[in-house]
């Protein structure tokens, strides 16, 4: 169980990311992009990224509208994935998706785990898990397919 001061800190970080999203806006030279939509609540997200010849995410941005959790999660994700290799990004995405469902993500390194713990509390609220994971599923789809169909 999380203590109140830690919960408050996590809420502050989520609010900061949702009010002042990092990497927000279109990316005209994107090599990959994906679109995600959660029809249950109306959250929408578009992910744009540039993967360079070395397989590194050279640039990443997102656009979208939705609740504070979906926007904060997209902001946190883009902040964490910028500059990583596709393989590193996939490991981080898989770890986050497990964490959001309340599963073990012990294979994440300490710093990544600490940053992602901010969103891990959503596992206690099943209706919010889709909000938190929308951008991550959309990112996965963008990397796999270049452009993505609706993610449910």
The share of the chain scoring above pLDDT 90, in percent, equals: 57
| φ, ψ for residue 34, nearest 5 deg | -150, 155
The answer as to whether 152 is a domain residue is: no
CATH number at residue 16: 3.90.1010.10
The pTM of this model reads 0.87
Strands across the sheet with 32-38, in order? 32-38, 43-51, 57-65
Residue 93 lies in a domain: yes
The total number of structural domains in the chain stands at: 1
Q: Is 94 exposed, middle or buried (0-12, 13-18, 19+ CB in 10 A)?
A: middle
**Model confidence band, residue 152 (pLDDT cutoffs 50, 70, 90):** very low
Residue 150: inside a domain, yes or no? Answer: no
What is the residue range of 46's domain? Answer: 4-145
pLDDT above 60 (res 150): no
What pLDDT is recorded for position 3?
67
pLDDT, average across residues 58-81: 94
pLDDT, tens digit, 9 for 90 and up, residues 74-123: 999 999 999 999 999 999 999 999 888 888 888 888 889 888 888 877 87
Is 77 a member of any domain?
yes
Q: Check residue 90 and report its DSSP letter.
A: H
Residue 151: inside a domain, yes or no?
Answer: no
DSSP-assigned letter for residue 56? B
The verdict on residue 99 lying in a domain is yes
Predicted local confidence at residue 6, as pLDDT: 63
Are 52 and 64 within 8 A, CB to CB?
Answer: no
**23-55 pLDDT per residue, tens:** 999 999 999 999 999 988 899 999 999 999 999
């Amino acid at each position: 169980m999380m203590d109140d001061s830690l919960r408050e800190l996590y809420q502050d970080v989520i609010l900061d990311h949702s009010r002042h999203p990092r990497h927000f806006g279109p990316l005209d030279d994107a090599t990959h992009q994906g679109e995600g939509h959660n029809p249950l609540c109306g959250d929408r997200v578009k992910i744009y990224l540039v993967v360079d010849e070395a397989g590194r995410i050279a640039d990443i941005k997102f656009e979208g509208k939705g609740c504070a959790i979906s926007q904060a999660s997209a902001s946190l994700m883009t902040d964490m994935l910028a500059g990583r290799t596709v393989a590193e990004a996939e490991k981080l995405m898989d770890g986050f998706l497990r964490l959001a469902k309340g599963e073990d993500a012990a294979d994440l390194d300490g710093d990544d785990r600490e940053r992602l713990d901010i969103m891990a509390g959503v596992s206690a609220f099943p209706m919010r898990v889709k909000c938190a994971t929308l951008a991550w599923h959309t990112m996965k789809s963008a990397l796999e397919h270049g452009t993505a169909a609706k993610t449910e």
